[in-house]
Chain A
Amino acid sequence: MEIIDRLSAGDPEKKKYYIRLFLDTLEPELENLRGAHIGAPQEPIRAILHKLKSQVQTIGAADAHAMMSAHEQTIKGGGTISQSELDITCDLLSTLIQNLQDLLK
């Protein structure tokens, strides 16, 4: 959140604007991840993880970023991730979204 804090420079409305921008992407992509078929080719999952990892990094969620990067690399390397790995990633993302929503209150 450091870059957002720095750019919003004490302007709470600006900070909320940035948070909403992230939520506009994170919320629908979380639904896409939850609805993804783990048995099918996992390229669509990789594409979502790739898209989200830069955003969670900017927000400062290091754990979520590390996990998404690792899963992306696994799929890119021809491997697959398991349902439980996907569930854990979704739970992390869900917590992050909840934290961002709390900041808007």
Chain B
Amino acid sequence: MSKHLKIALVDDDIPNTEILRDFLIRNGYSHVDKYHDGESFLESIDRFDERAVVLDFDLSGGGELNGLEVLEALKERSPQTHVIFYSGQDSLEVAVESLKNGADDYIVKSNAAFALVKTSLDKVYDLQVLRLSEKRNQRISWALALGWLITLVGVAIFVAN
């Protein structure tokens, strides 16, 4: 089943990004973009960006910005974007900083990392499905309330006449 969640992978590690992309596509995520530096990724976002972002910390092989700087700029422009920080740094300091700056998860690159990224994205996807369902239910509730109101007004007019 195809999961309608747009994903951006931001990592200067070209082979691993390509393999992670193929892994996610194989697991049902059909829309996966990749960027090898923070600058080109930031150029691609807008205020209504709905993508989940898998963001590496050390982007020195691609551009000037590191992952924390990209995270900060991203959250200013698009606060609702879900960010999974994905780093080769097993550093408590970086983990705390990323979570303080709005990352939803912090995953250290390891043999299990691809599966952990997928699990984290599954949670984002489930949350998105839940939010859409809540919005739909809200619309139905409003439509029902409006229907009742129109009926009541109609009855009141009928009685008054």
A:5-57 near B, CB below 8 Å: 7, 18, 21-22, 24-25, 47, 50-51, 53-55, 57
A48-87 interface code vs B (CB 8 A; 1 in, 0 out): 0011011101100000000000000000000000000000
Main secondary structure of the interface of A (DSSP, over half): helix
Query: Does A96 reach chain B (CB closer than 8 Å)?
Result: no
Instruction: Categorize the interface residue count of chain B.
Output: 10 to 19
Q: B29 → chain A, closest Cβ, in Å? A: 14
Q: B122 → chain A, closest Cβ, in Å? A: 18
**Chain A contact residues, CB within 8 Å of chain B:** 3-4, 7, 18, 21-22, 24-25, 47, 50-51, 53-55, 57-58
Q: Could you name 30 residue pairs across A and B whose Cβ atoms are closer than 8 Å?
A: A3-B19, A3-B114, A4-B19, A7-B19, A7-B23, A7-B26, A18-B18, A18-B19, A21-B14, A21-B18, A21-B19, A24-B14, A24-B15, A25-B15, A47-B58, A47-B61, A50-B88, A51-B12, A51-B58, A51-B61, A54-B13, A54-B16, A54-B88, A54-B109, A55-B13, A55-B15, A57-B109, A57-B111, A58-B15, A58-B16
